[in-house]
């Protein structure tokens, strides 16, 4: 199985893939994974949606990250937990896929994703279509080999200025080499948007103060591929519109916005 | 398809421009009725997906993907409308009628099908919303 499923694949089994019904899958987070940020559960839901959409369209096109209207991190989870994945496909065409879904742990939702939409690209630009067909069959039948994912490194985020309670700026270096580039994608290595969201969440909490945590992401929009070795200028502006603590995050590459989102934050009562 | 009056457009114009401003991250004040979303406001293809999505939520309507391009062909078949990626003469006449809000001098010839979205203005999206509302309304 040539190393596939090892680096950045978060569906072990596909239990139901009829796009007209609820698409179901499963991912067991390896107990020895060093770091599994919550945004990777959104990645898992997105990957399950991608499998369903690709099989419905005979592996001619595959979706990539585009928009995620509303992501909520409902409950903490991590290495050793098994995620049950559910996706409802709203549409899957040759140009884009729209869906919503969630991840559950022991029957309880840990993450919900609403209004997700991904533009479709020709599969061949990103991966070998025949290999993907074979992978899909593996996931539908035996399942992927016992997960070999080891976790992801903490993002290389440098903070330049922090005005606590107001804003923060810094830079994020996309590594030139990382295990996840082998899977994402085999023919076109790009920085996964869910890892960018993890980093932007950290930036927002750094601005909000140590006791803040990310509870969700709104209106995530990814405009361009982020290749290995690039440095992104990242910033957050906090506000408490409607009494809710949140921050507008922007990542720029060569001066142009490549991703934007609104990070929702909460401070735990002590 | 019933005609769309200027009154219909004016009624939803402010909400549509506010939605465009949110999707593009631009200022409502920078937007004119005949601004090209791509040329004047910097929209990219992901912004159109975003915008259609937001309009669906703001107006509680359903807009099938690719609806504008599909509708713009009118009664013409794909081969009547375009040949080798270029809009045909008949196609152009149909397009000018469909995008009547777009100043005539912006329809360059030959016009590539891929370039059609460059013509879209805020009013194009008002009309898209109104057509979706009318399609959803019970007949009668």
Tens digit of each residue's pLDDT (9 = 90 or more) over B78-113: 999 999 999 999 999 999 999 999 999 999 989 999
pLDDT score recorded for residue A270 = 56
User: Would you say residue A167 has pLDDT above 90?
Assistant: yes
Mean pLDDT of A73-77: 96
User: Would you say residue A241 has pLDDT above 90?
Assistant: no
Main-chain dihedrals φ then ψ at residue B42, nearest 5 degrees: 75, 20
Main-chain dihedrals φ then ψ at residue B123, nearest 5 degrees: -70, -30
Chain A contacts of B117, Cβ < 8 Å?
Answer: none
Whether residue B53 and residue A66 make contact (CB cut-off 8 A), yes or no, is no
User: Would you say residue B3 has pLDDT above 90?
Assistant: no
Selected residue of A113, A117, A118 to mutate for chain B interface (largest B Cβ count, 10 A)? A117
Mean pLDDT of B51-67: 88
Q: Give residue B64's pLDDT band: very low, low, confident or very high (50, 70, 90).
A: confident
Whether residue B65 and residue A67 make contact (CB cut-off 8 A), yes or no, is no
Is the ipTM reported for this complex over the cut 0.85?
no
Least confident of A65-79, A116-130, A174-188, B20-34: B20-34
**Model pTM score:** 0.88
Nearest CA in chain A to B45: A223
Q: What is the biggest distance separating any 2 CA atoms in chain A, rounded to whole angstroms?
A: 54
Phi-psi region of A209 (alpha: psi -120 to 50; beta: other; left: phi over 0): left
pLDDT score recorded for residue B140 = 52
Distance CA(B52)–CA(A266), nearest Å, equals: 30
Phi-psi region of A208 (alpha: psi -120 to 50; beta: other; left: phi over 0): alpha
Q: Give residue A269's pLDDT band: very low, low, confident or very high (50, 70, 90).
A: low
Whether residue A67 and residue B66 make contact (CB cut-off 8 A), yes or no, is no
Chain B contacts of A117, Cβ < 8 Å?
Answer: 49-50, 53
- Residues from B in contact with A at Cβ < 8 Å: 25, 44-46, 49-50, 53, 57, 64-66
Chain B contacts of A98, Cβ < 8 Å?
Answer: 53, 65
Across the interface, of A95, A223, A260, the residue whose CB is closest to B66 is A95
Chain B contacts of A119, Cβ < 8 Å?
Answer: 45-46, 49
- Residues from A in contact with B at Cβ < 8 Å: 66-67, 69, 91, 93, 95-96, 98, 115, 117, 119, 221-223, 257, 260
pLDDT score recorded for residue A268 = 75
- Measured in angstroms, the CA of B50 and the nearest CA of chain A are apart by 7
Chain A contacts of B64, Cβ < 8 Å?
Answer: 91
Distance CA(A265)–CA(A63), nearest Å, equals: 29
Where b means 16+ CB within 10 Å and e means fewer, A208-224 reads beeebbbbbbbbbbbbe
User: Would you say residue A226 has pLDDT above 90?
Assistant: yes
pLDDT score recorded for residue A75 = 96
Whether residue B65 and residue A95 make contact (CB cut-off 8 A), yes or no, is yes
Which helix (H) or strand (E) covers residue A73, if one does? strand A67-73
Distance CA(A172)–CA(A240), nearest Å, equals: 25
Nearest CA in chain B to A93: B65
pLDDT digits (tens, 9 = 90+) for B16-41: 999 999 899 888 888 999 999 999 99
Distance CA(A125)–CA(A133), nearest Å, equals: 15
Q: Give residue A100's pLDDT band: very low, low, confident or very high (50, 70, 90).
A: very high
User: Would you say residue B1 has pLDDT above 60?
Assistant: no
Whether residue A96 and residue B65 make contact (CB cut-off 8 A), yes or no, is yes
pLDDT score recorded for residue B80 = 95
- Output the six-digit token pair for B139: 């007949």
Distance CA(A133)–CA(B92), nearest Å, equals: 41
Nearest CA in chain B to A260: B25
Whether residue B53 and residue A117 make contact (CB cut-off 8 A), yes or no, is yes
Across the interface, of B25, B49, B64, the residue whose CB is closest to A117 is B49
Main-chain dihedrals φ then ψ at residue A13, nearest 5 degrees: -140, 140
Distance CA(A54)–CA(A137), nearest Å, equals: 12
Query: How many C-beta neighbours within 10 Å does residue B135 have?
Result: 13
Across the interface, of A67, A257, A260, the residue whose CB is closest to B49 is A67
Distance CA(A28)–CA(A42), nearest Å, equals: 14
Distance CA(B140)–CA(B138), nearest Å, equals: 6
Cis amide linkage into residue B102, ω under 30° from 0: no
pLDDT score recorded for residue B63 = 87
Nearest one of A113, A34, A15, A14 to A67, comparing CA atoms: A113
pLDDT score recorded for residue A1 = 39
**Side-chain half-sphere exposure of B40, counting CA atoms within 13 A:** 18
Mean pLDDT of B69-83: 90
Selected residue of B24, B42, B50 to mutate for chain A interface (largest A Cβ count, 10 A)? B50
Cβ-Cβ contacts under 8 Å for A171 (sequence gap 6 or more): A157, A158, A160, A231, A232, A233, A234
């Amino acid at each position: 199985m040539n190393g596939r499923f090892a680096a950045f694949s978060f569906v072990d089994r596909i239990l139901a893939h009829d796009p007209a019904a609820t698409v179901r899958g499963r991912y067991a987070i390896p107990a020895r994974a060093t770091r599994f940020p919550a945004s990777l559960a959104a990645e898992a839901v997105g990957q399950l949606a991608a499998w369903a959409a690709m099989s419905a369209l005979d592996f001619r096109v595959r979706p990539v990250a585009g928009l995620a209207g509303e992501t909520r991190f409902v409950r903490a989870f991590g290495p050793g937990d098994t995620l049950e994945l559910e996706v409802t496909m709203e549409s899957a065409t040759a140009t884009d896929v729209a869906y919503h879904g969630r991840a559950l742990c022991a029957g309880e939702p840990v993450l919900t994703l609403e209004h997700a939409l991904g533009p479709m690209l020709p599969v061949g630009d990103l991966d070998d279509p025949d290999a993907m067909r074979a992978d899909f069959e593996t996931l539908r039948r035996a399942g992927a080999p016992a997960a070999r994912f080891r976790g992801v490194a903490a993002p290389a985020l440098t903070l330049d200025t922090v005005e606590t309670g107001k804003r923060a700026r810094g830079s994020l270096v996309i590594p030139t080499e990382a295990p996840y580039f082998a899977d994402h994608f085999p023919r076109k290595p790009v920085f996964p948007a869910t890892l960018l969201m993890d980093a932007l969440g950290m930036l927002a909490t750094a601005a909000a103060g140590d006791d803040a945590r990310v509870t969700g992401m709104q209106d995530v929009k990814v405009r361009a591929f982020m290749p290995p070795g690039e440095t992104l200028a990242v910033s957050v502006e906090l506000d408490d519109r409607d009494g809710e603590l949140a921050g507008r995050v922007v990542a720029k590459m060569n001066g142009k916005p490549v991703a934007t989102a609104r990070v929702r934050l909460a401070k735990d009562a002590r | 398809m019933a005609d769309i009056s200027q009154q219909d457009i004016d009624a939803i114009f402010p909400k549509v421009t506010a939605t465009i401003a949110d999707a593009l991250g631009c200022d409502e004040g920078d937007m004119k009725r005949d601004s090209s979303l791509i040329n004047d406001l910097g929209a990219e293809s992901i912004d159109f997906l975003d915008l259609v999505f937001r309009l669906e939520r703001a107006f509680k309507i359903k807009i099938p993907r690719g609806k504008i391009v599909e509708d713009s062909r009118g009664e013409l078949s794909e081969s009547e409308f375009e040949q080798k990626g270029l809009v045909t003469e008949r196609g152009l006449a149909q397009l000018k009628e469909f995008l009547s809000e777009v100043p005539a001098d912006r329809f360059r010839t030959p016009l590539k099908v891929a370039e059609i979205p460059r013509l879209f203005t805020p009013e194009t999206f008002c009309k898209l919303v109104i057509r979706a509302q009318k399609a959803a309304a019970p007949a009668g």
